Structure 1
Amino acid sequence: MSAVVLALLAGAVAGLALGGMGGGGSVLAVPALIHLLGFSPVEATTASLVIVAITTATSLYAHGRDGNVRWRPGLLFAGAGLLPAVAGGLLATRLPEVLLTAAFSVLAAVAAVGMLRARDDAPPAGDPSALRAAGAGAGLGAVTGLLGVGGGFLGVPALVRVVGLPIRAAVGTSLLVISLTSTASLAARGGTLAGLDWSVVGPFTAAAVLGAWDGRRLAARVSGRTVRRVFGVALLAVAALMLVDALVMR
């Protein structure tokens, strides 16, 4: 199977996750770029940021039109993560590939467990602490910059539990946060863009954009619990694969 076909298939799956759940696309994109398309970990995380930044920006429009984006808390949350995202992006280019791969596997496993254990209960009412929201946003930005993931699979739970948004608003607002932090961390990796294979990144991104629109429609028809369980199992498999890869690289 050609690299372009693989890129289109992987991009469609990543886009479905981003559009349907407000995150998770990059957690699938990075291992696909490494294991299916032959990218190095640094190249894969940089390419993932390109794919995620463009895909979330286009999907954000649709969610905003539906009234599912809370602009003020989203901008506060994202603003706290911009500098950590840039710092993480600079640090990522100086760390050993085996360390990045191992860290990614751990993050994927944590995200998978969180999705499998997530409940559909609405968060308790209350006025969220601005300091807690800023802290969560800063942590998400650092993860985005360091590992090349949008962080939506962490951002959505944080927007629900810390900021107090309902799940649909959290998904839409997460896309705003991801778009801004991904762009900021990508700016810190500008020197690594020239080495990317754009004949692969381009089709991957195009398929992800189209997949995100389908994911938004699918999310409206399928229960959130079912989507999370399927995606959680897939993430566990990804985590195991990346951990094995990290051990082999030692």
Structure 2
Amino acid sequence: MIIEAVTLGLLIGVVIGMLGGGGAILTVPVLVYALGQDVHTATTTSLLVVALASGVGAWGQARHECVCWKHTSAFAPTALAGTVAGTALNQLVGATALLLLFAGLMLAAALATWNNGAAATEGVIGTQCPPVQRTRVILAGLGVGFLTGFLGVGGGFVIVPVLAVLLAMPMRGAIGTSLSIVTIVSACGLAAHLVSGSTIDFGIAVPLAAGCIAGAVAGPQFGRRVSAQHLAHGFAALLILVAGYVLIATAISGGAPGA
């Protein structure tokens, strides 16, 4: 199981490093279907893994001036408020409902990412961050925070399109900035889950996190060799595949594993 966790973590980390998100939305299905965790434990474990991997990825992106810190500082506080509400609701919803909501969210994110792929622009941020549109940032932050607490996702798959399309940030900068936001939001979401009584299986979390961190280091190297449009479309296709698997597996088994 350790080898499987490291290998799967490596793949998830590459996705996080390349795309600035998507790690948690893949980590939860991996923990449930491949590594045998129950859904509520998986959402908590996912936040630990993604916070660590995203932090490493953000550090690497910052070295290439691909993080817009003023957007991070504006986005994160509102996201934290949403996290509290999402965590409270997570404890009240059944495992099967969580998985179905998760699959629906993946399909919606895939559609938005695919449609926005044509509008994705290349480039790095450097000293040219687009203006912070506070109303949009606040609303997006609350939504991302809620998803983080409710479904155990860092929200990068939502943050990247928001930054790239709504806030006109170059795709490379959106990826780096997303990683910095995901790190903060995931860490706070993890704290909220632990305070509410959720648990982590460290026997799975440690090797999975180790693989994710290694993948997050390598991910940006791969990402810089791929066009922004191909990055967006590849991410969308991956989300559709995972969502399809979750829906089919849930239908065949009649519910979430262990539910």
Which stretch of structure 1 is more off in the superposition, 177-186 or 223-232?
223-232
1:135-155 CA-partner distances (Å, limit 9, x unpaired): 111111111111111111110
1:53-79 CA-partner distances (Å, limit 9, x unpaired): 111112211111211111111110111
Change (3 A) 1:209 1:240: same
Change (3 A) 1:29 1:161: same
1:239 corresponds, among 224, 238, 243, to 243
Matched, 1:249 2:255: yes
Which stretch of structure 1 is more off in the superposition, 229-238 or 16-25?
229-238
Change (3 A) 1:165 1:191: same
Q: CA deviation at 1:48?
A: 0.5
CA distance in 2, matches of 1:198, 1:179: 19
**Letter of the aligned partner of 2:75 in structure 1?**
F
Work out the number of aligned pairs and report it.
Answer: 247
Instruction: Report the 3-state secondary structure (helix = DSSP H, G, I; strand = E; otherwise coil) of the residue aligned with 1:155.
Output: helix
**Letter of the aligned partner of 1:133 in structure 2?**
V
2:165 — aligned with what? 161
Q: CA RMSD in A?
A: 2.1
1:100 corresponds, among 98, 101, 118, to 98
Q: CA deviation at 1:161?
A: 2.4
> What is the percent sequence identity of the aligned residues?
32
1:129 — aligned with what? 133
Q: CA deviation at 1:35?
A: 0.5
Q: TM-score of the superposition, structure 1-length normalised?
A: 0.92
1:170-221 CA-partner distances (Å, limit 9, x unpaired): 1111011111111111111115777432121101001100101111000111
Q: CA deviation at 1:121?
A: 4.6
Contact persistence 1:46–1:193 (CA under 8 A): no
Question: Gaps (5+ residues) in structure 2?
Answer: 123-128
2:194 — aligned with what? 190
Q: CA deviation at 1:162?
A: 2.8
CA distance in 2, matches of 1:33, 1:168: 29
Contact persistence 2:119–2:165 (CA under 8 A): no
CA distance in 1, matches of 2:157, 2:110: 9
**Letter of the aligned partner of 1:119 in structure 2?**
A
**Letter of the aligned partner of 2:243 in structure 1?**
A
1:81 — aligned with what? 79
Which stretch of structure 1 is more off in the superposition, 28-37 or 231-240?
231-240
Which stretch of structure 1 is more off in the superposition, 234-243 or 213-222?
234-243
Contact persistence 1:88–1:145 (CA under 8 A): yes
